[in-house]
Structure 1
Amino acid sequence: MTHIAVLGSTNMDLVAYVAKAPQRGETVTGREFRTLPGGKGANQAVAAARAGADAVSMIGAVGADAFGTQLRTALDHSGVDTDLLRTVDTAATGTAHIVVDDEGGNAIVVIPGANATLTALAPGDEGLITSADTLLLQLEIPVEGVLAAAQAARRHGVRTILTPAPAQPLPPELLAATDLLVPNEHEAATLTGLTDPRSAARSLLSQVPEVVVTLGARGSLYAARGAEPVMVEAPHVTAVDTTGAGDTFVGTLAVALAEGGSVPEALAWASSAAALSVQRPGASASMPYRSEIDTQTNGGAS
């Protein structure tokens, strides 16, 4: 049985679609507005559930408001266990304000809201982490909470995958409790000061045993201590909206690795899932199901 636990953010995405994103001081007219479930933690949970994990559990926080109710319902409908998604009376549900342009690029402002209360593990959290095969972590919640969860996973031998986004300096204690670090190329450069992905990956291996640097349309680069780097190309597709593509990749990758797949196969499968997601609008709403990922990976029509 594959059980993925996720500690992270749960946001409502408020998405404006425009031909070209506004510059500072500029006003533009958009063509569409959508309210969609999001948050890096919730996105990765949905991605793992749709990719076929036997169980996915979400640890997080929402406000006692309409957005919180909608997000909990959306996770439930995606097959994610929300027993440890707590409701906070003192803060609103987190939101992400997103502008998506005609080239599929995006700019995002995140308002943490209830996510900011996740500074430590609550009763039941460590027990859930202990029961999982893999723990997924990101940085849209306080780093204190991320560190507590990572150290709990390390105590119990649970594989920890950390997405260092939004990019920020990482405590050595957090890196010491991380098994696999998955930055995109910009985050890898921020963490290391090195713009070449291979050089950045080599540098990060001094702190964590395995690294995957995602490279957008160019695919992904895997590096591990004592092994040659592995580059896996991404399928060539036309992007509509890249929001959530990285989270799709990570959630799907976690399932593939938990099922015992080889690293190249897991990366190819995760790249196929991300390629499918960018062809659809939204974050979690765009995430593909296992049958779609299999078809894409095996060369079928997307």
Structure 2
Amino acid sequence: MQAKVVVVGSLNMDLIVRTPRLPVGGETLAGHGFSTAPGGKGANQAVAAARLGAQVAMIGCVGDDAYGAELRAGLIAEGIDCRAVMSATGVPTGIAAILVDDAGQNAIIIAAGGNAELTPARLTAHDALLQAADIVIAQLEVPLPTVEATLYRAHELGRTVILNPAPATGPLPAHWYGLVDYLIPNESEAALLTGIQVDSPQSALLAAQRLMERGARRVLITLGSQGVLYADSTRHLHLPVDPVVAVDTTAAGDTFVGGFAAALAAGQSLEAAIGLGQQAAALAVTRPGAQPSIPYRHELPA
């Protein structure tokens, strides 16, 4: 068992439609492109961590269909340990229907499929992977009892625990905060978690402080073109990012999380880990797709 980063989370096949703009309710628009690409927040973060230098294992669940086989094969091709990517019979693999407008913004609808079959019992069957990890990453695209079991077990084992609370629908369970070492929402997720409108580094700091009042140890709020706001009990930092022309923001946050985890696993400093995540995410948004957009380490500055 050599896994340094273990990702517990979702695997989806992304069904992507390019459109001039996002439609409003009841409207039909003519798109100008369709493609499929491997995705899912968990798998995206696993691929990002692997491409950016980490040794990675994935714990997840797909359906017993062609999409599931394709997703597993794609992760294996990235060198990711997939012994815990399980197939659930009688259910489809999860999908994400993604609309991407000409400004690079997206709207996403997820059908969980096999991701809903990642139960705490299935997680427990692969406890050896958690034991072998240095860093454990979770998101919210699999059943919440499984996320909670992941946080409890990883914390019990003394592993570094990263929670990307996405997709967020409201406040997290209060008892989760003390189990997480790094809480990494984006601006909209931070707003849903705290009730604070987050649209600047200043408002992000207010949201981070509220999350720390609830028990979060360290908070990183990703702010897109405005960079990242980091806060803990002793300091806060705003790390800006160089501007880029965004083509597709899908998987930008996942790329940041994976890059950040890869750098931490390699023993880099907090600032260096944030910097690597930012560099990788900035390059990812200049490319279409989820996993196809995620860069390799050699593509980034030394």
Using the alignment, how far apart are the partners of 1:72 and 1:216 within structure 2?
30
Partner of 1:264: 271
TM-score, normalization: structure 2? 0.94
- Alpha-carbon deviation of 1:209? 0.5
| Stretch deviating more after TM superposition (2-11 or 34-43) | 2-11
Partner of 1:80: 80
Asked if residue 277 in structure 1 is aligned to residue 284 in structure 2, the reply is: yes
Of 179, 184, 187, the residue aligned with 1:185 is: 187
Using the alignment, how far apart are the partners of 1:190 and 1:248 within structure 2?
21
Gaps of 5+ in 2: 198-202
RMSD of the alignment, in Å?
A: 1.2
Partner of 1:157: 158
1:212 match: secondary structure? strand
Partner of 1:56: 56
1:34 match: secondary structure? strand
- Alpha-carbon deviation of 1:69? 0.6
Asked if residue 246 in structure 1 is aligned to residue 253 in structure 2, the reply is: yes
- 1:1-302 to structure 2, matched below 5 A, reads 3-53=4-54, 55-122=55-122, 123-168=124-169, 169-195=171-197, 196-206=203-213, 207-225=215-233, 227-293=234-300, 295=301
Using the alignment, how far apart are the partners of 1:156 and 1:162 within structure 2?
16
2:86 counterpart letter in structure 1: R
TM-score, normalization: structure 1? 0.94
- Alpha-carbon deviation of 1:90? 2.6
1:97–1:110 contact (8 Å) kept in structure 2 = yes
2:231–2:237 contact (8 Å) kept in structure 1 = yes
2:84 counterpart letter in structure 1: L
2:116–2:143 contact (8 Å) kept in structure 1 = yes
**Cα shift readout 1:163-196 (whole Å, capped 9, x = no counterpart):** 0011133122322211110000111111111122
Using the alignment, how far apart are the partners of 1:267 and 1:179 within structure 2?
15
1:218 counterpart letter in structure 2: Q
Using the alignment, how far apart are the partners of 1:59 and 1:75 within structure 2?
11
| Stretch deviating more after TM superposition (114-123 or 253-262) | 114-123
**Cα shift readout 1:77-107 (whole Å, capped 9, x = no counterpart):** 1111110000000311000000000000000
2:7–2:136 contact (8 Å) kept in structure 1 = yes
Using the alignment, how far apart are the partners of 1:173 and 1:93 within structure 2?
31
Using the alignment, how far apart are the partners of 1:16 and 1:247 within structure 2?
20
1:241–1:280 contact (8 Å) kept in structure 2 = yes
- Alpha-carbon deviation of 1:23? 1.2
Residue identity over aligned pairs, in percent, reads 46
- Alpha-carbon deviation of 1:213? 0.3
Using the alignment, how far apart are the partners of 1:148 and 1:176 within structure 2?
14
Partner of 2:200: none
Using the alignment, how far apart are the partners of 2:294 and 2:185 within structure 1?
19
- Alpha-carbon deviation of 1:2? 7.0
| Stretch deviating more after TM superposition (206-215 or 254-263) | 254-263
Q: Structure 1: which 4+ aligned runs deviate by more than 6 Å?
A: none
| Stretch deviating more after TM superposition (16-25 or 37-46) | 16-25
1:147–1:173 contact (8 Å) kept in structure 2 = no
Using the alignment, how far apart are the partners of 1:269 and 1:50 within structure 2?
12
Using the alignment, how far apart are the partners of 1:243 and 1:121 within structure 2?
31
Using the alignment, how far apart are the partners of 1:95 and 1:20 within structure 2?
22
| Stretch deviating more after TM superposition (110-119 or 121-130) | 121-130
Using the alignment, how far apart are the partners of 1:148 and 1:217 within structure 2?
34
Using the alignment, how far apart are the partners of 2:280 and 2:103 within structure 1?
19
